[in-house]
Homo-oligomer: A and B are copies of this chain.
Amino acid sequence: MRRMTARPENTHQARLLRLLRDNGSNSRAQLGDLVDLSRSKLAVEVDRLLETGLVVADGLAPSRGGRRSHNIRLAPTLRFLGVDIGATSIDVAVTNAELEVLGHLNQPMDVREGPVAVFEQVLAMAAKLRASGLAEGFDGAGIGVPGPVRFPEGVPVAPPIMPGWDGFPVREALSQELGCPVMVDNDVNLMAMGEMHAGVARSVGDFLCVKIGTGIGCGIVVGGEVYRGTTGSAGDIGHIQVEPEGRACVCGNRGCLEAHFSGAALAADAEQAAREGRSAHLAARLETVERLTAEDVSAAAAAGDPVALELIRAGGKRLGQVIAGLVSFFNPGLVVIGGGVTGLGHTLLASVRTQVYRQSLPLATGNLPIVLGELGPAAGAIGAARLISDHVFSPA
Protein backbone atom coordinates (compact mmCIF):
# COMPACT_ATOMS: atom_id res chain seq x y z
CA MET A 1 0.00 0.00 0.00
CA ARG A 2 2.65 2.49 1.05
CA ARG A 3 4.45 4.06 -1.89
CA MET A 4 7.78 5.62 -1.30
CA THR A 5 7.61 8.57 -3.60
CA ALA A 6 10.98 10.21 -4.01
CA ARG A 7 11.38 13.88 -3.16
CA PRO A 8 13.60 16.44 -4.86
CA GLU A 9 16.97 16.96 -3.19
CA ASN A 10 17.26 20.69 -3.73
CA THR A 11 15.44 23.73 -4.97
CA HIS A 12 16.68 23.29 -8.54
CA GLN A 13 15.08 19.90 -8.78
CA ALA A 14 11.90 21.22 -7.18
CA ARG A 15 11.84 24.03 -9.70
CA LEU A 16 12.21 21.60 -12.58
CA LEU A 17 9.46 19.34 -11.28
CA ARG A 18 7.05 22.25 -11.03
CA LEU A 19 7.90 23.44 -14.51
CA LEU A 20 7.19 19.98 -15.83
CA ARG A 21 3.96 19.89 -13.87
CA ASP A 22 2.75 23.22 -15.19
CA ASN A 23 4.05 23.04 -18.75
CA GLY A 24 3.80 19.32 -19.39
CA SER A 25 6.41 17.36 -21.29
CA ASN A 26 9.41 19.42 -22.16
CA SER A 27 12.79 19.08 -23.81
CA ARG A 28 15.97 19.40 -21.84
CA ALA A 29 17.00 22.28 -24.05
CA GLN A 30 13.78 24.17 -23.40
CA LEU A 31 14.16 23.67 -19.67
CA GLY A 32 17.60 25.14 -20.00
CA ASP A 33 16.09 28.30 -21.43
CA LEU A 34 13.68 28.54 -18.51
CA VAL A 35 15.85 27.95 -15.46
CA ASP A 36 19.11 29.82 -15.92
CA LEU A 37 21.44 27.00 -14.92
CA SER A 38 24.60 26.04 -16.71
CA ARG A 39 24.21 23.18 -19.16
CA SER A 40 26.34 20.92 -17.04
CA LYS A 41 24.43 21.64 -13.86
CA LEU A 42 21.12 21.13 -15.58
CA ALA A 43 22.26 17.82 -17.01
CA VAL A 44 23.32 16.62 -13.59
CA GLU A 45 20.06 17.55 -11.92
CA VAL A 46 17.95 16.04 -14.68
CA ASP A 47 19.96 12.83 -14.51
CA ARG A 48 19.38 12.65 -10.79
CA LEU A 49 15.67 13.17 -11.26
CA LEU A 50 15.64 10.39 -13.83
CA GLU A 51 17.37 8.14 -11.30
CA THR A 52 14.74 8.81 -8.66
CA GLY A 53 12.03 7.83 -11.11
CA LEU A 54 10.08 11.05 -10.62
CA VAL A 55 10.90 11.94 -14.20
CA VAL A 56 11.15 9.72 -17.28
CA ALA A 57 12.42 10.09 -20.83
CA ASP A 58 9.74 10.88 -23.36
CA GLY A 59 11.16 10.59 -26.85
CA LEU A 60 12.69 13.29 -28.98
CA ALA A 61 11.55 16.83 -29.36
CA PRO A 62 11.16 18.40 -32.81
CA SER A 63 14.31 20.08 -34.01
CA ARG A 64 14.80 23.75 -33.35
CA GLY A 65 17.23 24.06 -36.23
CA GLY A 66 19.85 21.59 -35.09
CA ARG A 67 20.19 18.36 -33.23
CA ARG A 68 16.93 17.21 -31.69
CA SER A 69 16.64 17.39 -27.93
CA HIS A 70 15.44 14.64 -25.62
CA ASN A 71 12.04 15.17 -24.03
CA ILE A 72 11.42 14.42 -20.41
CA ARG A 73 8.20 14.33 -18.47
CA LEU A 74 6.96 13.56 -15.00
CA ALA A 75 6.50 9.86 -14.38
CA PRO A 76 3.17 8.88 -15.96
CA THR A 77 2.41 6.59 -13.04
CA LEU A 78 2.37 9.39 -10.46
CA ARG A 79 -1.07 9.95 -8.99
CA PHE A 80 -2.48 12.61 -6.73
CA LEU A 81 -5.78 12.41 -4.91
CA GLY A 82 -7.84 15.56 -4.55
CA VAL A 83 -10.65 15.54 -2.00
CA ASP A 84 -13.15 18.33 -1.54
CA ILE A 85 -15.47 17.92 1.39
CA GLY A 86 -18.37 20.33 1.09
CA ALA A 87 -21.16 20.92 3.55
CA THR A 88 -23.48 18.58 1.69
CA SER A 89 -21.35 16.57 -0.70
CA ILE A 90 -17.94 15.06 -1.31
CA ASP A 91 -15.84 15.37 -4.46
CA VAL A 92 -12.91 13.06 -5.04
CA ALA A 93 -10.65 13.23 -8.08
CA VAL A 94 -7.55 11.41 -9.27
CA THR A 95 -4.98 13.34 -11.25
CA ASN A 96 -1.70 12.55 -12.89
CA ALA A 97 1.44 14.49 -12.08
CA GLU A 98 0.40 17.29 -14.44
CA LEU A 99 -2.77 17.60 -12.35
CA GLU A 100 -5.04 16.55 -15.17
CA VAL A 101 -8.19 14.98 -13.80
CA LEU A 102 -8.30 11.31 -14.76
CA GLY A 103 -11.37 10.42 -12.77
CA HIS A 104 -13.88 12.28 -10.64
CA LEU A 105 -16.58 11.10 -8.25
CA ASN A 106 -19.24 13.09 -6.45
CA GLN A 107 -21.36 11.82 -3.61
CA PRO A 108 -23.95 13.64 -1.52
CA MET A 109 -23.09 13.54 2.16
CA ASP A 110 -23.75 15.75 5.14
CA VAL A 111 -20.50 16.81 6.75
CA ARG A 112 -22.31 16.88 10.08
CA GLU A 113 -22.32 13.11 10.15
CA GLY A 114 -18.86 13.51 11.56
CA PRO A 115 -15.31 12.77 10.59
CA VAL A 116 -15.49 9.00 10.94
CA ALA A 117 -18.43 8.52 8.59
CA VAL A 118 -17.08 11.05 6.11
CA PHE A 119 -13.68 9.41 6.17
CA GLU A 120 -15.17 6.05 5.42
CA GLN A 121 -16.94 7.53 2.45
CA VAL A 122 -13.84 9.30 1.16
CA LEU A 123 -11.77 6.13 1.43
CA ALA A 124 -14.46 4.14 -0.33
CA MET A 125 -14.50 6.64 -3.17
CA ALA A 126 -10.72 6.60 -3.40
CA ALA A 127 -10.77 2.82 -3.46
CA LYS A 128 -13.35 2.86 -6.22
CA LEU A 129 -11.20 5.15 -8.33
CA ARG A 130 -8.23 2.93 -7.72
CA ALA A 131 -10.23 -0.18 -8.55
CA SER A 132 -11.26 1.30 -11.86
CA GLY A 133 -7.62 1.15 -12.90
CA LEU A 134 -6.86 4.85 -12.69
CA ALA A 135 -4.27 4.46 -9.99
CA GLU A 136 -2.32 1.79 -8.23
CA GLY A 137 -1.60 3.96 -5.25
CA PHE A 138 -1.33 7.62 -4.45
CA ASP A 139 1.77 9.73 -4.20
CA GLY A 140 0.00 12.39 -2.26
CA ALA A 141 -3.46 13.59 -1.30
CA GLY A 142 -4.91 17.02 -0.71
CA ILE A 143 -8.12 17.49 1.19
CA GLY A 144 -10.36 20.49 1.72
CA VAL A 145 -12.84 20.91 4.52
CA PRO A 146 -15.57 23.55 4.87
CA GLY A 147 -14.12 25.41 7.82
CA PRO A 148 -10.95 26.92 9.24
CA VAL A 149 -7.88 24.70 9.47
CA ARG A 150 -4.70 24.97 11.46
CA PHE A 151 -2.69 24.53 8.32
CA PRO A 152 0.72 23.34 9.55
CA GLU A 153 -0.86 20.50 11.51
CA GLY A 154 -3.73 19.83 9.14
CA VAL A 155 -6.39 19.97 11.83
CA PRO A 156 -9.77 21.73 11.66
CA VAL A 157 -10.31 24.34 14.36
CA ALA A 158 -13.66 25.29 15.79
CA PRO A 159 -15.55 24.73 12.54
CA PRO A 160 -19.06 26.10 13.04
CA ILE A 161 -20.80 23.89 10.49
CA MET A 162 -18.75 20.78 11.26
CA PRO A 163 -19.58 19.65 14.78
CA GLY A 164 -17.36 16.80 15.86
CA TRP A 165 -14.50 17.79 13.59
CA ASP A 166 -12.80 20.19 15.98
CA GLY A 167 -9.28 18.94 16.53
CA PHE A 168 -9.77 15.77 14.51
CA PRO A 169 -6.35 14.88 13.09
CA VAL A 170 -7.42 14.80 9.46
CA ARG A 171 -3.95 14.93 8.02
CA GLU A 172 -2.50 12.27 10.26
CA ALA A 173 -5.45 9.91 9.83
CA LEU A 174 -5.68 10.15 6.08
CA SER A 175 -1.94 9.83 5.72
CA GLN A 176 -2.07 6.60 7.71
CA GLU A 177 -4.87 5.19 5.63
CA LEU A 178 -3.52 6.11 2.24
CA GLY A 179 0.14 5.66 3.04
CA CYS A 180 1.16 8.91 1.40
CA PRO A 181 1.74 12.56 2.32
CA VAL A 182 -1.43 14.54 2.95
CA MET A 183 -2.17 18.23 3.28
CA VAL A 184 -5.37 19.75 4.60
CA ASP A 185 -6.81 23.16 3.87
CA ASN A 186 -9.98 25.15 3.84
CA ASP A 187 -12.15 24.27 0.82
CA VAL A 188 -12.26 27.89 -0.31
CA ASN A 189 -8.50 28.20 -0.33
CA LEU A 190 -8.32 25.09 -2.47
CA MET A 191 -10.81 26.48 -4.91
CA ALA A 192 -8.59 29.54 -5.21
CA MET A 193 -5.57 27.33 -5.82
CA GLY A 194 -7.51 25.39 -8.43
CA GLU A 195 -8.49 28.50 -10.33
CA MET A 196 -4.94 29.76 -10.03
CA HIS A 197 -3.49 26.56 -11.43
CA ALA A 198 -5.85 25.75 -14.22
CA GLY A 199 -8.64 28.30 -14.23
CA VAL A 200 -9.28 32.00 -14.73
CA ALA A 201 -6.63 33.12 -12.28
CA ARG A 202 -3.63 31.79 -14.14
CA SER A 203 -0.90 34.39 -14.07
CA VAL A 204 -2.63 36.65 -11.56
CA GLY A 205 -0.60 37.33 -8.46
CA ASP A 206 -3.12 38.87 -6.08
CA PHE A 207 -6.76 37.91 -6.26
CA LEU A 208 -9.86 36.99 -4.32
CA CYS A 209 -11.94 33.90 -4.86
CA VAL A 210 -15.45 34.09 -3.41
CA LYS A 211 -17.23 30.78 -2.98
CA ILE A 212 -20.95 30.71 -2.50
CA GLY A 213 -22.13 27.40 -1.22
CA THR A 214 -24.12 26.54 1.85
CA GLY A 215 -22.14 29.38 3.40
CA ILE A 216 -19.91 32.05 1.93
CA GLY A 217 -16.14 32.15 2.07
CA CYS A 218 -13.31 33.89 0.30
CA GLY A 219 -9.89 32.62 -0.70
CA ILE A 220 -7.13 35.21 -0.55
CA VAL A 221 -4.09 34.91 -2.77
CA VAL A 222 -1.11 37.21 -2.19
CA GLY A 223 1.80 37.00 -4.57
CA GLY A 224 0.70 33.61 -5.84
CA GLU A 225 0.45 32.17 -2.33
CA VAL A 226 -2.69 31.49 -0.37
CA TYR A 227 -2.94 33.73 2.67
CA ARG A 228 -4.47 31.92 5.64
CA GLY A 229 -4.31 34.48 8.44
CA THR A 230 -3.01 34.17 11.95
CA THR A 231 -5.34 31.42 13.08
CA GLY A 232 -6.30 30.03 9.69
CA SER A 233 -9.64 31.78 9.53
CA ALA A 234 -8.80 34.42 6.93
CA GLY A 235 -11.45 34.81 4.25
CA ASP A 236 -14.31 34.08 6.59
CA ILE A 237 -16.53 36.76 5.16
CA GLY A 238 -19.87 35.05 5.72
CA HIS A 239 -20.36 36.85 8.98
CA ILE A 240 -19.56 40.36 7.91
CA GLN A 241 -22.50 42.55 8.77
CA VAL A 242 -24.47 43.90 5.84
CA GLU A 243 -27.56 45.09 7.63
CA PRO A 244 -27.27 46.68 11.08
CA GLU A 245 -30.54 45.27 12.32
CA GLY A 246 -30.84 42.45 9.85
CA ARG A 247 -31.76 38.80 10.10
CA ALA A 248 -30.63 36.67 12.98
CA CYS A 249 -27.72 34.45 12.02
CA VAL A 250 -26.68 31.09 13.40
CA CYS A 251 -23.53 32.76 14.71
CA GLY A 252 -25.60 34.74 17.18
CA ASN A 253 -25.29 38.11 15.51
CA ARG A 254 -27.69 39.94 13.26
CA GLY A 255 -27.44 40.96 9.64
CA CYS A 256 -24.56 38.68 8.59
CA LEU A 257 -23.96 38.33 4.86
CA GLU A 258 -24.62 34.62 5.09
CA ALA A 259 -27.98 35.15 6.73
CA HIS A 260 -29.06 37.35 3.85
CA PHE A 261 -27.42 35.60 0.95
CA SER A 262 -26.00 32.11 0.61
CA GLY A 263 -27.19 28.76 -0.65
CA ALA A 264 -29.11 28.19 2.55
CA ALA A 265 -30.60 31.70 2.75
CA LEU A 266 -31.60 31.62 -0.89
CA ALA A 267 -33.43 28.33 -0.44
CA ALA A 268 -35.26 29.66 2.61
CA ASP A 269 -36.26 32.85 0.80
CA ALA A 270 -37.51 30.82 -2.13
CA GLU A 271 -39.63 28.60 0.06
CA GLN A 272 -41.16 31.58 1.72
CA ALA A 273 -41.95 33.17 -1.62
CA ALA A 274 -43.52 29.93 -2.79
CA ARG A 275 -45.68 29.60 0.32
CA GLU A 276 -46.83 33.18 0.09
CA GLY A 277 -47.86 32.54 -3.48
CA ARG A 278 -45.58 35.17 -4.91
CA SER A 279 -44.03 32.82 -7.43
CA ALA A 280 -46.04 30.24 -9.33
CA HIS A 281 -42.88 28.65 -10.63
CA LEU A 282 -41.33 28.06 -7.23
CA ALA A 283 -44.66 26.98 -5.76
CA ALA A 284 -45.02 24.35 -8.44
CA ARG A 285 -41.56 23.08 -7.69
CA LEU A 286 -42.32 22.93 -3.99
CA GLU A 287 -45.20 20.56 -4.73
CA THR A 288 -42.84 17.91 -6.06
CA VAL A 289 -40.01 18.25 -3.56
CA GLU A 290 -39.97 18.64 0.17
CA ARG A 291 -37.50 21.48 0.38
CA LEU A 292 -36.30 23.97 -2.19
CA THR A 293 -32.61 24.46 -2.89
CA ALA A 294 -30.47 27.11 -4.48
CA GLU A 295 -30.53 25.03 -7.67
CA ASP A 296 -34.33 25.37 -7.79
CA VAL A 297 -33.98 29.13 -7.64
CA SER A 298 -31.41 28.98 -10.35
CA ALA A 299 -33.74 26.89 -12.54
CA ALA A 300 -36.63 29.24 -11.89
CA ALA A 301 -34.49 32.21 -12.82
CA ALA A 302 -33.40 30.50 -16.02
CA ALA A 303 -37.09 30.00 -16.80
CA GLY A 304 -37.63 33.71 -16.33
CA ASP A 305 -39.42 33.66 -12.98
CA PRO A 306 -39.32 37.28 -11.79
CA VAL A 307 -39.31 36.48 -8.08
CA ALA A 308 -36.32 34.18 -8.44
CA LEU A 309 -34.52 36.78 -10.49
CA GLU A 310 -35.21 39.41 -7.89
CA LEU A 311 -33.90 37.16 -5.12
CA ILE A 312 -30.69 36.69 -7.01
CA ARG A 313 -30.37 40.36 -7.78
CA ALA A 314 -30.94 41.36 -4.18
CA GLY A 315 -28.42 38.77 -3.04
CA GLY A 316 -25.90 39.96 -5.58
CA LYS A 317 -26.32 43.46 -4.30
CA ARG A 318 -25.59 42.35 -0.75
CA LEU A 319 -22.63 40.32 -1.87
CA GLY A 320 -21.49 43.23 -4.01
CA GLN A 321 -21.52 45.54 -1.00
CA VAL A 322 -19.18 43.27 0.85
CA ILE A 323 -16.94 42.65 -2.13
CA ALA A 324 -16.76 46.37 -2.79
CA GLY A 325 -15.35 46.84 0.69
CA LEU A 326 -12.86 44.03 0.21
CA VAL A 327 -11.78 45.44 -3.13
CA SER A 328 -11.08 48.83 -1.59
CA PHE A 329 -9.13 47.17 1.18
CA PHE A 330 -7.27 44.51 -0.74
CA ASN A 331 -6.97 46.02 -4.21
CA PRO A 332 -6.92 42.64 -5.99
CA GLY A 333 -6.14 42.10 -9.66
CA LEU A 334 -9.11 39.79 -10.13
CA VAL A 335 -12.22 38.63 -8.33
CA VAL A 336 -13.44 35.11 -9.02
CA ILE A 337 -16.90 33.99 -8.02
CA GLY A 338 -17.62 30.32 -7.79
CA GLY A 339 -19.19 27.58 -5.77
CA GLY A 340 -22.34 25.51 -5.96
CA VAL A 341 -24.60 28.35 -6.99
CA THR A 342 -22.59 29.34 -10.01
CA GLY A 343 -25.77 28.33 -11.80
CA LEU A 344 -27.10 31.70 -10.76
CA GLY A 345 -24.51 32.84 -13.20
CA HIS A 346 -24.70 36.06 -15.03
CA THR A 347 -27.64 37.52 -13.23
CA LEU A 348 -25.68 37.32 -10.02
CA LEU A 349 -22.51 38.50 -11.67
CA ALA A 350 -24.16 41.55 -13.20
CA SER A 351 -25.61 42.52 -9.88
CA VAL A 352 -22.30 42.13 -8.07
CA ARG A 353 -20.44 44.06 -10.72
CA THR A 354 -22.86 46.97 -10.62
CA GLN A 355 -22.49 47.26 -6.89
CA VAL A 356 -18.71 46.98 -6.85
CA TYR A 357 -18.07 49.38 -9.67
CA ARG A 358 -20.41 51.87 -8.09
CA GLN A 359 -19.03 51.67 -4.59
CA SER A 360 -15.30 51.23 -4.94
CA LEU A 361 -12.84 53.87 -6.04
CA PRO A 362 -11.82 53.99 -9.70
CA LEU A 363 -8.16 53.28 -9.00
CA ALA A 364 -9.04 49.94 -7.46
CA THR A 365 -11.76 48.96 -9.94
CA GLY A 366 -10.18 50.53 -13.00
CA ASN A 367 -8.95 47.33 -14.51
CA LEU A 368 -10.60 44.83 -12.21
CA PRO A 369 -12.24 41.83 -13.84
CA ILE A 370 -14.99 40.17 -11.84
CA VAL A 371 -15.63 36.76 -13.35
CA LEU A 372 -17.12 33.36 -12.70
CA GLY A 373 -14.86 30.43 -11.89
CA GLU A 374 -13.88 28.30 -14.83
CA LEU A 375 -13.51 24.89 -13.27
CA GLY A 376 -16.93 24.39 -11.71
CA PRO A 377 -17.23 21.55 -9.21
CA ALA A 378 -13.72 20.27 -9.97
CA ALA A 379 -12.01 23.45 -8.75
CA GLY A 380 -11.69 22.24 -5.17
CA ALA A 381 -10.33 18.83 -6.08
CA ILE A 382 -7.84 20.29 -8.56
CA GLY A 383 -6.75 22.80 -5.94
CA ALA A 384 -6.29 19.96 -3.47
CA ALA A 385 -4.10 18.11 -5.94
CA ARG A 386 -2.14 21.27 -6.53
CA LEU A 387 -1.64 21.76 -2.80
CA ILE A 388 -0.16 18.33 -2.28
CA SER A 389 1.88 18.46 -5.46
CA ASP A 390 3.49 21.66 -4.24
CA HIS A 391 4.40 19.76 -1.12
CA VAL A 392 5.67 16.64 -2.83
CA PHE A 393 7.60 18.72 -5.35
CA SER A 394 9.54 20.56 -2.69
CA PRO A 395 12.80 19.50 -1.00
CA ALA A 396 12.26 17.11 1.91
Kindly supply a per-residue 1/0 record for chain A positions 320-345, scoring 1 wherever the CB is within 8 Å of any chain B CB and 0 otherwise. Answer: 01101110111111000000000000
Complex: chain B residue closest to A325, CB-CB: B240
* Chain A contact residue count (CB 8 A cutoff): 45
A333 contacts which chain B residues (CB < 8 A)?
Answer: 230
Task: Please determine whether B330 and A229 come into contact, CB atoms closer than 8 angstroms.
Answer: yes
Q: How far is the CA of A160 from the CA of B228 in the complex (A)?
A: 32
Q: Known: A236-B329, A325-B325, A329-B218. Contact between A361 and B251, CB under 8 A?
A: yes
A227 in contact (CB, < 8 A): yes
Report if A234-B329 is in contact (Cβ < 8 Å); known contacts: A222-B222, A241-B324, A324-B241: yes
Set of chain B residues within 8 Å of A133, measured between Cβ atoms: none
Q: Which residues of B contact A222 (CB under 8 A)?
A: 222, 227
A330 / chain B contacts, CB cutoff of 8 Å: 220, 229, 234, 329
Known: A158-B363, A251-B361, A329-B234. A229 touches B241 (CB 8 A): no
Give every chain B residue within 8 A of A288 (Cβ-Cβ).
none
Whether A359 lies near B229 (C-beta < 8 A) is: no
Q: A241, B206: Cβ atoms under 8 Å? A: no
Please name all residues of chain B whose beta carbon is closer than 8 Å to the beta carbon of A358 when the two chains form the complex. Answer: 253
Across the interface, do A229 and B362 meet the contact criterion of CB distance under 8 Å? no
Docked complex Cα distance between A235 and B253 (Å): 26
Q: Is the CB of B237 within 8 A of A328?
A: yes
Give complex CA distance A367, B157 in Å.
Answer: 14
Chain B residues, CB < 8 A from A359: 239, 241, 253
Could you say which residues of chain B place their CB within 8 Å of the CB of A63?
Answer: none
Query: When the two chains form their complex, are residues B231 and A364 in contact, meaning their CB atoms are under 8 A apart?
Result: yes
Inter-chain contacts of A237 with B (CB < 8 A): 325, 328-329
Find chain B residues with CB under 8 A from A5 CB. Answer: none
From B218, B240, B326, B366, contact of A231 by CB (8 A): B366
Q: Is the CB of B240 within 8 A of A328?
A: yes
Determine whether A148 belongs to the interface, using a CB cutoff of 8 Å to chain B: yes
The reply on A351 being an interface residue by CB < 8 A is no
User: CB of A279 within 8 A of chain B?
Assistant: no
Q: Mark each residue of chain A from 209 to 251: 1 if its CB lies under 8 Å from any CB of chain B, else 0.
A: 0000000001010100001111111111101110000000001
Smallest CB gap from A334: residue in B: B230
B205, B239, B241, B364: the one within 8 Å of A233 (CB): B364
- A-B contacts, 12 of them at CB < 8 A, read A148-B363, A206-B227, A218-B329, A231-B363, A233-B363, A233-B364, A234-B329, A236-B363, A237-B329, A241-B359, A253-B359, A329-B330
- Interface residues, chain A, with chain B CB atoms under 8 Å away: 148, 157-158, 160, 205-206, 218, 220, 222, 227-237, 239-241, 251, 253, 321-322, 324-326, 328-333, 358-364, 366-367
Q: A230-B331, A239-B359, A240-B328 are in contact. List 13 more A-B contacts (CB 8 A).
A: A205-B230, A220-B329, A228-B331, A230-B333, A232-B331, A233-B328, A233-B363, A236-B361, A241-B321, A241-B324, A241-B325, A322-B325, A329-B330
